[in-house]
């Protein structure tokens, strides 16, 4: 460039700057004030609008949540249509179940009369009978093992069979003698009247003394309720068999028989604190040996348990009681724990696992419920052990699982995912509509969870304390251990429910990113922190209310 041209350009720049500098300072300051005022005016207007939107959404959330919580609290307390009113079950079916539960209460009271510290044994025997299963009682002699079986039979006024096995017992002792007249006609037929094939309730003491001559026939009879008599296979009326033994089976050939007894209970001697009560009772000062019969006579005939009640129970339970995924998962995890993490491992056969689920359905049905709960899994301590000392470990594992609320953590994770998707979908009505549908489903899940927790707290933990099949001492101990956890869970459910309703109302009102950020700042911060910058930048271009000016 020519030196003169360069000089001329520089001169013009200096002239321009000198002209600006010669402008009055008041004019320069005024221009800046006008620009700032315009910016502040726009910012304040946006802030006022954002605050108005946020407050409107919050007001609607409070009103929506109040209506929702009022309805849930009414249901938890047993209001119209509530959980205590029988859920989706019609009134007639509910009345039938209530009547059955009352009959079972009467049956438990009759069978317990005069027995000291045999609450659990009586309840488990009755549950096994209602489920069409058999119970094994393991314990020393003289601990009332046979007495509970006799009382069940007396209750339903059925045919009863009792026998003590030895290593030298022969099939005729259980299944009846051969018919001499039939032998003359070349037929191998037994006279079964008065023997095991005609019994409705049976008590077999020292069950594991059964030899191979008895074993195969016994397995078919107790598992399939069939008896091979000659060339005919005939059904047997057996409701439940009570097997008793002083020891566990030693031989592998007895494993199949051992597995046929779904319910198992170790029976111990009466504790020192209960001995005085037992001796006083049987001394005649507070009753007599016929007290159970007297107790039964005091109950109206229509409220006593019948054979028809037992026969119809299992089929009705399997057809009407659902097993939620949470219960399936708990049972699956328990089997894994027993077989892979316990030492020595506890084998659980597939048959036993399936039957345990069916037993839980019967237990829930008799308690008047339409669904099995995780609390019913407490009964598995009497089902899945191989040795008596393992029952306590199963009980402790189930209680520990009941104290962990993984379900609520999963809901919180789902809510975070829905919030992130909602932020990315703003401005797309179709995607927002899909998210609203998912949010509504999540709200239903939380509502069900709240009903379960609040119903237990408000009603004195009925799912445990009012459970027919849990012994009173056990149910009280479990309720005491779990109640503080339920209080915390209820508060956590209320908070998550508040956030879900907040997101639902915000999306329904067409909230923008700024409004969402103000309504749910924690979720917004998690979204910003965990998202890619390319996704966040287009959403976050609008300044937040109260933020800095650029």
User: What value does the mean pLDDT take over residues 78-85?
Assistant: 41
Question: Nearest-CA neighbor of 176 among 239, 241, 221, 223?
Answer: 221
Domain 93-314 belongs in CATH node 3.40.50.300:
yes
Side-by-side strand order, sheet with 201-205? 160-164, 201-205, 240-245, 135-138, 263-266
**What is the C-alpha to C-alpha distance for residues 182 and 197, in angstroms, rounded to an integer?**
18
Question: Nearest-CA neighbor of 155 among 101, 105, 194?
Answer: 105
Judge whether 394 and 385 are in contact, CB under 8 Å.
yes
Contacts of 328 (CB under 8 A, 6+ apart): 357
Lowest mean pLDDT among 180-189, 216-225, 421-430, 455-464: 455-464
Judge whether 348 and 121 are in contact, CB under 8 Å.
no
Residues in the chain: 550
Whether 224 has a pLDDT exceeding 90, the answer reads yes
Judge whether 169 and 211 are in contact, CB under 8 Å.
yes
> Three-state DSSP class for 2?
coil
- The H-or-E segment that residue 241 falls in is strand 240-245
Judge whether 362 and 313 are in contact, CB under 8 Å.
yes
233: which strand partners?
Answer: 228
* Model pLDDT, residue 82: 40
Whether 463 has a pLDDT exceeding 50, the answer reads yes
Whether 176 has a pLDDT exceeding 90, the answer reads yes
Lowest mean pLDDT among 29-43, 260-274, 350-364: 29-43
pLDDT tens string 257-273: 999 999 999 999 998 88
User: What value does the mean pLDDT take over residues 124-141?
Assistant: 96
Whether 536 has a pLDDT exceeding 50, the answer reads yes
Inter-CA distances, 154 with 86, 116, 200, 310, 380, Å = 32, 19, 11, 14, 28
Whether 79 has a pLDDT exceeding 60, the answer reads no
Domain boundaries, the chain: 93-314, 321-401, 408-530
Q: At which residue do the structure tokens 């799912």 appear? A: 463
Average pLDDT, the chain: 84
Record the pTM. Answer: 0.77
Whether 125 has a pLDDT exceeding 80, the answer reads yes
Q: Check residues 276 and 133 and name the one with the higher pLDDT.
A: 133
pLDDT tens string 443-455: 998 998 888 888 7
pLDDT tens string 333-347: 999 999 999 999 999
Judge whether 223 and 183 are in contact, CB under 8 Å.
no
Longest CA pairwise span in the chain (Å) = 146
201: which strand partners?
Answer: 160, 240
What DSSP string describes 257-270? HHHH--EEEE--PP
Whether 314 has a pLDDT exceeding 70, the answer reads yes
Lowest mean pLDDT among 150-164, 239-253, 282-296: 282-296
**What is the C-alpha to C-alpha distance for residues 279 and 293, in angstroms, rounded to an integer?**
20
The dihedral through the CA atoms of 253, 257, 260, 261 has a sign that is: negative
Whether 251 has a pLDDT exceeding 60, the answer reads yes
């Amino acid at each position: 460039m020519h030196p003169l041209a360069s000089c001329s350009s520089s001169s013009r720049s200096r002239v321009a700057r000198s002209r600006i500098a010669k402008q009055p300072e008041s004019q320069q300051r005024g221009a800046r004030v006008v620009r700032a005022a315009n910016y502040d005016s726009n910012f304040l207007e946006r802030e006022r609008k954002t605050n108005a939107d946020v407050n409107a959404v919050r007001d609607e959330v409070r009103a929506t949540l109040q209506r929702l919580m009022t309805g849930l609290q009414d249901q938890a307390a047993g209001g119209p249509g509530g959980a205590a009113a029988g859920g989706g079950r019609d009134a007639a079916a509910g009345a039938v179940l209530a009547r059955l539960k009352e009959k079972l209460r009467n049956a438990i009271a009759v069978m317990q009369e005069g027995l000291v510290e045999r609450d659990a044994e009586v309840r488990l025997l009755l549950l096994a009978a209602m489920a069409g299963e058999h119970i094994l009682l393991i314990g020393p002699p003289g601990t009332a093992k046979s007495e509970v079986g006799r009382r069940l039979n007396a209750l339903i006024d059925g045919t009863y069979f009792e026998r003590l096995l030895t290593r030298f017992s022969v099939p005729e002792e259980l299944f009846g003698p051969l018919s001499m007249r039939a032998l003359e006609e070349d037929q191998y037929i037994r006279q079964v009247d008065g023997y095991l094939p005609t019994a409705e309730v049976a008590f077999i003491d020292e069950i594991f003394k059964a030899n191979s001559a008895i074993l195969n026939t016994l397995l078919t009879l107790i598992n399939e309720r069939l008896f091979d008599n000659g060339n005919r296979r005939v059904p047997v009326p057996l409701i439940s068999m009570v097997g008793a033994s002083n020891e566990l089976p030693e031989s592998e050939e007895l494993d199949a028989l051992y597995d046929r007894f779904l319910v198992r209970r170790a029976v111990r001697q009466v504790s020192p604190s209960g001995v005085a009560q037992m001796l006083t009772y049987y001394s005649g000062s507070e009753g007599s040996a016929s007290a159970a019969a007297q107790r039964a006579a005091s109950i109206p005939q229509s409220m006593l348990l019948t054979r028809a009640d037992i026969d119809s129970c299992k089929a009705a339970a399997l057809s009407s009681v659902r097993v939620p995924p949470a219960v399936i998962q708990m049972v699956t995890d328990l089997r894994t724990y027993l077989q892979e993490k316990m030492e020595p491992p506890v084998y659980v056969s597939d048959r036993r696992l399936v039957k345990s689920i069916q037993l839980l359905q019967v237990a829930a049905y008799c308690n008047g419920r339409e669904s099995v709960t995780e609390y019913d899994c407490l009964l598995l301590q009497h089902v899945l052990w191989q040795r008596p000392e393992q029952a306590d470990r199963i009980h402790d594992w189930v209680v520990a699982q009941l104290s962990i609320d993984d379900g609520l953590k999963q809901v919180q994770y789902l809510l975070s995912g829905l919030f992130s998707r909602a932020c990315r979908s703003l401005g797309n009505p179709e995607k927002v509509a899909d998210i609203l549908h998912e949010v509504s489903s999540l709200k239903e899940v939380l509502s069900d969870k709240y009903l379960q927790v609040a119903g237990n707290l408000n009603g004195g933990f009925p799912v445990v304390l009012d459970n027919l099949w849990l012994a009173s001492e056990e149910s009280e101990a479990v309720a005491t251990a779990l109640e503080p956890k339920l209080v915390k869970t209820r508060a956590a459910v209320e908070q998550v429910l508040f956030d879900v309703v907040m997101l639902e109302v915000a999306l329904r009102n067409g909230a923008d990113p700024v409004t969402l950020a103000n309504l749910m700042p924690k979720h917004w911060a998690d979204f910003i922190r965990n998202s890619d910058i390319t996704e966040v930048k287009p959403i976050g271009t609008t300044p937040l209310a109260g933020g800095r000016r650029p």
